Structure 1
Amino acid sequence: MAINYTIKDVAKKVNVSIATVSRVLNGQGGYSKATEEKVLMAIKELGYQPNAFARGLINNKSNTVAILFPEVSSQFSSKILRGVEEAVHAFGSSVIVCNTASHGQRTEKYLELLAEKRVDGILFVSETITQNYFDKLESMKIPVVLIATESYLYPIPFVKVDDKHAAFTATNYLIKKGHTKIGMISGNKDDVIAGQPRIEGYKQAMLSMGIPFSEENIIYAKGFSFDDGMTNLPILLKQFTDLTAVFAASDAIAMGAISAAYKLGIKIPQDLSIVGYDNLPIAEMSIPPLTTVAQPLEEMGSVAANMLFSMMQSGQKGESRIMPHTIVERDTVKHL
């Protein structure tokens, strides 16, 4: 049976106090180089594993940050997480990943758990900040940074693209390719994060070029999923019979629309052009490969994590960042 040695055993082996071993573990000084070497050698020989929670009590840090996602398994989340983890690990900390499933009670339970775990900071992704969330975050008295979302009501720094501007860019790209009969399959129109701004960007691009459009040119989907695109493209085609192009509010919607077009015998881009939004890995995998608006998701995760650690070290509020978006041209848009 393996013996779990304690800090007391290390101190006894070196013939120093427990406090001295603790100072060596936490790099606090107050001991000679020879003592440090003896303590480290004893730790190695005994195979002593310092208790992370106990060390946290000493330096008031857990060396962990948390990230809350509405959907952990999505390609959107995985790209952000990759950027976050690289930055966090570079600071010698770890990441706790929480899947809220866009569920208010689950989010609140996670925030209570994270308070108990004494995390050093929180990254909050792609959800609206409610009064309850904000109150819980405030009570924790730790830095918080939003990713791919923002709050007009609460003063929390964020890292995101300008969704309205990006949607304008996507629609304007189609206009520059000669399209004027442009429809949109949006996400949920009540979604203030990615729904409303992308709808407004589409409308503004059409208006700025003097291109007439009506509400029949837009389908308001329930969400941003493949099924939303698959279900709603046929409806849009019935409402907007001379349609030549579609701006889809997500790559998943675009993929669903491409699949629906295939079943209807509509060729992409010969008969119908499509632009997506996000530039997820599936955009390159689609047939044909999808032209889309790229969000720099990994960079957003990295920038947000670095901002969080800067706030933790300085005690100052971070400065929000609007990240650049770009059009990635592939094969789903025809030049008229």
Structure 2
Amino acid sequence: MKRITIYDVAKEADVSLATVSRVINGSEVVREDTRIKVQEAIEKLGYKPNAIAQGLALQKTTTIALIVPEASFFYTGQIINGLIDVAKIYKYNIVLHTTTEGITEMNDIIETIIKSRVDGVVIFNDKLCKDELNTLTRYQVPIVVIGNRMSDETIGSVYVDYAKLIYEFAAQYLEKGITDIALIEDRKNPAMLKQLNDGLQHAMEDKGLTFDNFVEIPKEYRSSYLYLKEYFKTHKHQLVITYRDSQAMAVLNSAKENGLMIPDDMEVVCILDSKYNAMARPQITGFKIPDYDLGAVAMRVMTKMLKEDDEVIDKEIELSYIYTPRQSTK
């Protein structure tokens, strides 16, 4: 049987979530006819208020929990800065929590955080899917996800559409007749690689072609470099795409060690640009992702979700990117 939530009550009574919350918690600012309408909806649906949610409604803490996977620290500095800067403006405190894959379960840490009475939760984790977040809606606490496109009554998201990014980029090369495009597997970021793979397949299909140059890194190899050093002895592509800077450098070095000149023999692009791409020789082309804005906009979405009014807000915010050509492309 489907669990009845506060959102069902709000829909049945045709009022806002804030109004239902005020009725449940005995607020005197609700009109009597509205109160009766909400109470009738509660009785009709058999809604049982969540004890944790009631406690949160009664005692705001002005505290937002930020959950970041330990493995993502290198890329999250500016995201955290953006989030904290906006949080200061709205006088919210940020409490940082980390998860370690295989050790700490995401659902467990979120339940612990919510029971500690935070007002909302921001999650930076591009591996999360909508099904995994469904269990979190029972807490009736606003959640903003950075990195995935998803939304619900209590869930918002801020993201970059990497599938669209790679589609638009590959389409330009295909227009020039460059069809031998390869994508290097990144075992640390399977969800992101799926987006890139989907975008490349879409671009190829639009030209009547098939994308079949997904370069998998065998499990017996501890690093991409060790495998690519062997791979480029017998393979060469017109364009090689990687997700992270370390893999782009692995391609750069292993290709040069096998006599391939970059970019004359093979062009290299790194999706997630970093300062290290500009330090490589040749400098590596990449895409500037608005990391600071991801954090700042996520916190702004959170503040809107926490407001007790009937404002309709966009809970899926897509941010753009900047293509940064360097010496590894022609």
TM-score for both structures, normalised by structure 2: 0.70
What amino acid sits opposite 1:320 in the alignment?
Answer: E
| TM superposition shift of 1:59 | 6.9
TM-fit CA distance, 1:236: 4.7
In the TM superposition, what are the counterparts of 1:119-138 in structure 2 within 5 Å? 119-125=118-124, 126-129=126-129, 133-135=133-135, 137-138=136-137
Structure 1 residue 145 displacement after superposition: 0.8
Counting only pairs closer than 5 Å after superposition, residues 17-28 of structure 1 correspond to structure 2 as: none
Pick from 271, 284, 292 the counterpart of residue 290 of structure 1. Answer: 284
User: Within 5 Å, which residues of 2 pair with 1:5-154?
Assistant: 60-71=59-70, 74-103=73-102, 105-125=104-124, 126-129=126-129, 133-135=133-135, 137-151=136-150
Matched, 1:220 2:219: no
Output one character per residue of 1:258-306: Cα deviation in whole Å (capped at 9) or x when no partner: 2322433433223321011122332223222221123211111111110
Segments of 5+ residues of structure 2 without an aligned counterpart are 1-54
Change (3 A) 1:142 1:152: closer
CA distance in 2 between partners of 1:129 and 1:244 (Å): 34
Q: Which moved more, 1:158-167 or 1:168-177?
A: 168-177
Q: Which has the larger radius of gyration?
A: 1
Alignment counterpart, residue 202 of structure 2, candidates 204, 207, 220: 204
Instruction: Say if 2:151 and 2:315, in contact at 8 Å, map to a contact too.
Output: no
- The residue type paired with residue 321 of structure 2 is H
Residues 82 and 155 (structure 1), Cα distance of their counterparts in 2 relative to 1, 3 Å cut: same
One-letter code aligned to 2:317: R
Contact 2:151-2:316 at 8 Å conserved across structures: no
**Is the CA contact (8 Å cut-off) linking 1:185 and 1:219 kept in structure 2?**
yes
Answer whether contact 1:86 1:302 (CA < 8 A) is retained.
Answer: yes
3-state SS in 1 of match to 2:223: helix
CA contact (8 A) 1:189 1:195 kept: no
Q: Distance in 2 between matches of 1:199 and 1:205?
A: 10
User: Using the alignment, how far apart are the partners of 2:252 and 2:320 within structure 1?
Assistant: 27
**How far did 1:153 drift?**
9.4
8 Å CA contact 1:69–1:101 kept in 2: the answer is no
Determine helix, strand or coil for the equivalent of 1:266.
coil
Q: Deviations over 1:63-99 (max 9, x none)?
A: 2211112236533222211211111122112211222
Task: Name the % identity.
Answer: 21
Task: Trace 1:158-197 onto structure 2 (pairs within 5 A).
Answer: 158-175=157-174, 179-188=178-187, 191=190, 193-197=191-195
Q: TM-score, normalised by structure 1?
A: 0.69
The 1:64–1:278 alpha-carbon spacing in structure 2 relative to 1, beyond 3 Å, is same
Q: Give the structure 1 partner of residue 255 of structure 2.
A: 261
CA distance in 1 between partners of 2:317 and 2:146 (Å): 10
Q: CA RMSD in A?
A: 3.3
Q: 1:57 to 1:291 in 2, by over 3 A?
A: closer
Contact 2:229 2:257 in 1 (8 A): no
Give per-residue Cα distances to partners, 1:146-185, cap 9 Å, x unaligned: 1011348997321111121111123234445663322111
